[in-house]
Amino acid sequence: MSAITLKVNGSPHVLDVDPATPLLYVLSDDLALEGPKFGCGLGQCGACTVIVKGQAIRSCITPVESVAGADITTLEGLGTVDKPHPIQRAFIEEQAAQCGFCLNAVILTAKAFLDRNPKASPEEIRQALSNVLCRCFTHVRMLRAIERYQQELPR
């Protein structure tokens, strides 16, 4: 065990964990966050996505020691129920959630991608989301929500 310092959603945390522990386990078990979820455990579905250094990463395959000291943003860190982040608000307005299991991955992947590429084409956005597994088929509404959010971004 080692003392690892994480900055999650703007708050510092010092945790005594095995440095090889997957970040997802620390976020869910030690910090009680519910945005990132365990899906496949192999980094393939995206349910565990978080944003680190502006990149959407898969926390289930990321050793906690590799992100020590980095700013980590989870779905909870974007906005609140009373004041959702613009991308969360767009998803609410478009009713773009069904089962909600992939929502974490879709929102954080889209946000990280559009933060770097605010003028991305619809094709580029779909390509950026192509590695997120969604089984409930709300893709059309999700894409509309992402487009709505993109229209709000400074250009």
Tens of pLDDT along 112-122?
999 999 999 99
CATH topology for 2-77? Ubiquitin-like (UB roll) (3.10.20)
Give residue-wise pLDDT tens across range 123-135.
999 999 999 987 7
- Residue 93: closest CA among 132, 38, 151: 151
Give residue-wise pLDDT tens across range 50-93.
999 999 999 999 999 999 999 999 999 999 999 999 999 999 99
Domain with CATH 3.10.20.30 in the chain: 2-77
Residue length of the chain:
155
pLDDT band at 137 (very low <50, low <70, confident <90, very high): low
Give residue-wise pLDDT tens across range 38-49.
999 999 999 999
Burial of 71 (0-12, 13-18, 19+ CB in 10 A): middle
- 154 CB neighbour count, 10 Å cutoff: 4
Amino acid symbol at 118? P
What's the rounded Cα separation, in Å, for the pair 153 and 22?
33
Amino acid symbol at 110? A
* C-alpha to C-alpha distances, 76 to 1, 34, 118, 151, nearest whole angstrom: 27, 8, 22, 23
Q: Which CATH class is domain 86-152?
A: mainly alpha
Considering only CA atoms, give the Rg of the chain.
15
- Residues 133/102, Cβ–Cβ less than 8 Å: yes
- Residues 109/132, Cβ–Cβ less than 8 Å: yes
In the predicted model, what is the mean pLDDT of the chain? 93
Domain with CATH 1.10.150.120 in the chain: 86-152
Give the DSSP H/E element, type plus range, for residue 17.
strand 11-17
